[in-house]
C-alpha cells in the first residue's frame, strides 16, 4: 500500500488537531475553573485516570496557557484516535515499526513551522504551566516532552523521554535511564570535551512519543528512530533547524527548548513519583542549561500522570517488540500483554497455542530477552484471556505446576526504577501456566452454549 506524503500534517501529528478530534469524538473533558498547577491539577486529573476521555485544563493559575493530560491513559481512547480496536493496538504499533524497519522514511527538515511562531526574548521557564504532580515531588517536572539529540560521532538522531526537574528560570536537571542512547551520547560528548546539545519538544503527537519510547532492541543506535514517527503519521515527520545549536526541533510541537549539558555539571534531582508508584530518590544528576525557548502563539502544555499513561504508552511499544520477536522465535505465540499491575514495564502475559512440549519455557526466555525491563513473564494457553487478571490467575492456580513450571533467573539486568533491582540487577521469574503437552481432557475448560438474549422475554435484568 502506498503512503501519502503530501498535504498538511495528519491529525496524529499535531496535538492541537488531536485535541479537536478527541472533542469531536466526545472524548475530551474541559475543566473551565481555575486550577492550581501545584498538586491540584494532577489531583483532578487522577479522578479521570484510565477513563475514555482526556482532560484539558483551560485556566491554570498564574499562567496564560492551558494544560492537557490523559492522551495515553486509555487504550480505548487511543484506539479511537488511531481508528483501531483497542485490542488491535499492539499489532498496529508492531506493524508501524516493522514498516519503518523495512522501508524507513527519514524526517524532513523544513524552513519553518508552528513551533517557531514565537521565540521568547528571554529564557524563563516560569512562564510555562509546568505542574507539580505528587505530594512529595521535588518540584515542577517535564514528564512527557521528547528529547532529540545527535550522536557526537556519527550525527545520527535519537529520540527519548526523560524526566526533567525545573530548578531555575533557565536550569533543569535530567534523569537518564541506564542503557538509553542518550546516556551513550553524553559519554561520547564528555570524552571529546564537548557539551551535548539537544532539544526538548513539548506537546507532540503519539507518533513522536512512540518513536521516543521504542525499545533499543527495536531501534538500534545506528538508526534515526524519528523515522518511526513518519510510519505512524503516514508522512515524513517535519523538523526545523535549531537556532543556537545543531539539533533539530519538532516543527509541530507546542514548545521547543534548545538545551545543552556540559560534562561534569550535576545537581540534586528528585524526589519524583515514578511509574512504579514509588518516589525516585534524590541523587546528583546532569544539569541542563536552557538556551532558547520557542513556542506557538497559543500553545497547550502536555503532561502525563505516572500511572496508566506510562503503562499504556510504554506497554504498547514493549508489547509490539515482544510480539514481533516471539512470533519469529517461538511457534504458536498468538498475543502478549503488559499488565497494568506490572506497571506496563515489569509483567508480560504471553498467549501460546502449544505446538510441542517445552515451548512455553522458550517463550519465557525469549520474552525476557526481547524486553529487558521485565521482571515477570506468565505464559498461558490460547483459551485464556490475557487481559483479564482473573482469567490469568485461574490459569496460574489450576495449570501451574509449582515444582516444574517456575523459572528463576538471578542477577539479571532489569529496570533501575524498580526498587527490587538496585543498581539494575535483580531476580526475574517466569511462570509456565500452560496445560501439559500433549493435551488431555483433564485440563479442558468447561463450556456452556453461547446464547444471545435478543428476543427473549426477560424482566429486571441489568447488564
Q: Residues 281-298: what's their mean pLDDT?
A: 97
β-pairing, 196-202 vs 146-150, is antiparallel
Q: Is 325 exposed, middle or buried (0-12, 13-18, 19+ CB in 10 A)?
A: buried
Alpha carbon separation from 87 to 209, 316, 335 (Å, rounded): 20, 11, 10
Evaluate if residue 375 carries a pLDDT over 60: yes
Evaluate if residue 355 carries a pLDDT over 70: yes
In tens, the pLDDT along 297-335 reads 999 999 999 888 888 877 888 888 888 889 999 999 999
What are the domain boundaries of the chain?
Answer: 11-308, 330-435
* Position 7 confidence tier, pLDDT thresholds 50, 70, 90: very low
**How many CB atoms within 10 Å of residue 189?**
22
Cβ 93 vs Cβ 100: under 8 Å: no
How much helix, strand and coil, in percent to the nearest 5, is found in the chain?
30, 25, 45
pLDDT, position 179: 66
In tens, the pLDDT along 172-216 reads 999 997 667 899 999 999 999 999 999 999 999 999 999 998 877
Cα–Cα distance measured from residue 318 to residue 343, given in angstroms and rounded to the nearest whole number: 12
| % the chain with pLDDT above 70 | 97
- B/e letters for 333-360, b = 16+ CB within 10 Å, e = fewer, are bebbbbbbebbbbbbbbbbbebeeeebb
Query: What residues are paired with 54 via a beta bridge?
Result: 28
Higher pLDDT pick, 2 / 454? 454
Evaluate if residue 4 carries a pLDDT over 70: no
Three-state DSSP string of 279-345:
EECCEEEEEEEEEEEEECCCCCEECCCCCHHHHHHHHHHHHHHHHHHHHHHCCCEEEEEECCCCCCC
CATH number listed for the domain at residues 330-435: 3.40.1670.10
CB-facing half-sphere around the CA of 351: CA atoms within 13 A: 15
In tens, the pLDDT along 109-139 reads 999 999 999 999 999 999 999 999 999 999 9
| % the chain with pLDDT above 90 | 69
Q: Residues 393-418: what's their mean pLDDT?
A: 92
Evaluate if residue 347 carries a pLDDT over 70: yes
pLDDT, position 349: 96
In tens, the pLDDT along 39-62 reads 999 999 999 999 999 999 999 999
Question: What is the SS3 assignment for 118?
Answer: strand
Evaluate if residue 233 carries a pLDDT over 50: yes
Q: Residues 275-304: what's their mean pLDDT?
A: 94
Cβ 206 vs Cβ 71: under 8 Å: yes
pLDDT, position 3: 34
Question: What is the SS3 assignment for 388?
Answer: coil
Q: Residues 368-380: what's their mean pLDDT?
A: 93
Taking the alpha carbons of 405, 409, 415, 418 in that order, is the dihedral positive or negative?
A: positive
* Position 5 confidence tier, pLDDT thresholds 50, 70, 90: very low
The domain 11-308 is placed in CATH, from the list 1.25.40.10, 3.30.450.20, 2.30.110.10, 3.40.50.300, at 2.30.110.10
Evaluate if residue 396 carries a pLDDT over 90: yes
Amino acid at each position: 500500500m502506498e503512503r501519502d506524503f503530501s498535504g498538511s500534517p495528519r491529525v496524529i501529528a499535531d496535538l492541537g488537531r488531536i485535541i479537536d478530534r478527541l472533542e469531536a469524538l466526545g472524548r475530551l473533558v474541559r475543566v473551565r475553573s481555575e486550577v492550581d498547577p501545584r498538586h491540584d491539577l494532577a489531583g483532578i486529573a487522577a479522578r479521570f485516570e484510565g477513563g475514555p476521555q482526556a482532560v484539558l485544563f483551560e485556566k491554570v493559575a498564574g499562567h496564560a496557557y492551558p494544560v492537557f493530560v490523559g492522551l495515553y491513559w486509555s487504550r480505548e481512547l487511543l484506539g479511537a484516535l488511531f481508528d483501531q480496536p483497542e485490542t488491535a493496538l499492539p499489532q498496529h504499533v508492531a506493524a508501524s515499526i516493522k514498516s519503518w524497519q523495512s522501508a524507513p522514511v527519514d524526517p524532513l527538515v523544513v524552513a519553518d513551522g508552528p513551533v517557531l511562531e514565537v521565540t521568547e526574548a528571554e529564557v524563563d521557564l516560569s512562564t510555562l504551566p509546568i505542574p507539580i504532580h505528587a505530594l512529595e515531588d521535588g518540584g515542577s517536572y517535564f514528564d512527557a516532552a521528547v528529547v532529540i539529540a545527535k550522536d557526537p560521532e556519527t550525527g545520527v538522531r535519537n529520540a527519548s523521554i526523560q524526566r526533567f526537574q525545573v530548578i531555575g528560570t533557565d536550569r533543569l536537571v535530567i534523569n537518564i535511564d541506564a542503557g538509553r542512547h542518550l546516556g551513550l551520547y553524553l559519554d561520547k560528548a564528555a570524552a571529546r570535551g564537548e557539551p551535548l546539545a539537544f532539544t526538548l519538544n513539548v506537546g507532540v503527537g503519539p507518533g513522536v512519543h512512540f518513536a521516543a519510547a521504542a525499545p533499543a532492541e527495536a531501534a538500534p543506535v545506528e538508526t534515526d528512530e524519528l523515522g518511526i514517527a513518519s510510519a505512524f503519521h503516514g508522512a515524513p515527520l517535519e523538523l526545523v533547524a535549531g537556532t543556537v545549536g545543531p539539533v533539530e526541533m519538532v516543527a509541530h510541537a507546542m514548545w521547543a527548548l534548545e538545551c545543552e549539558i556540559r560534562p561534569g555539571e550535576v545537581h540534586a534531582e528528585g524526589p519524583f513519583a515514578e511509574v512504579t508508584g514509588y518516589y525516585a530518590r534524590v541523587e546528583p544528576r546532569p544539569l541542563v542549561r536552557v538556551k532558547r525557548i520557542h513556542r506557538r502563539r497559543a500553545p497547550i502544555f502536555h503532561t502525563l500522570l505516572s500511572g496508566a499513561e506510562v503503562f499504556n504508552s510504554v506497554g504498547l511499544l514493549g508489547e509490539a517488540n515482544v510480539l514481533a520477536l516471539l512470533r519469529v522465535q517461538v511457534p504458536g505465540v498468538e498475543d502478549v500483554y503488559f499488565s497494568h499491575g506490572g506497571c506496563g514495564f515489569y509483567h508480560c502475559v504471553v498467549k501460546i497455542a502449544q505446538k510441542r512440549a517445552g515451548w512455553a519455557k522458550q517463550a519465557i526466555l525469549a520474552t525476557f530477552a526481547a524486553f529487558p525491563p521485565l521482571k515477570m513473564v506468565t505464559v498461558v494457553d490460547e483459551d485464556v484471556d490475557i487481559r483479564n487478571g482473573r482469567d490469568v490467575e485461574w490459569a496460574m492456580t489450576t495449570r501451574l505446576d509449582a515444582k516444574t513450571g517456575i523459572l528463576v533467573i538471578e542477577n539479571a539486568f532489569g529496570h533501575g526504577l524498580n526498587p527490587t533491582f538496585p543498581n539494575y540487577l535483580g531476580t526475574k521469574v517466569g511462570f509456565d501456566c500452560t496445560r501439559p503437552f500433549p493435551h488431555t481432557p483433564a485440563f479442558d475448560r468447561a463450556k456452556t452454549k453461547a446464547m444471545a438474549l435478543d428476543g427473549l422475554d426477560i424482566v429486571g435484568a441489568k447488564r
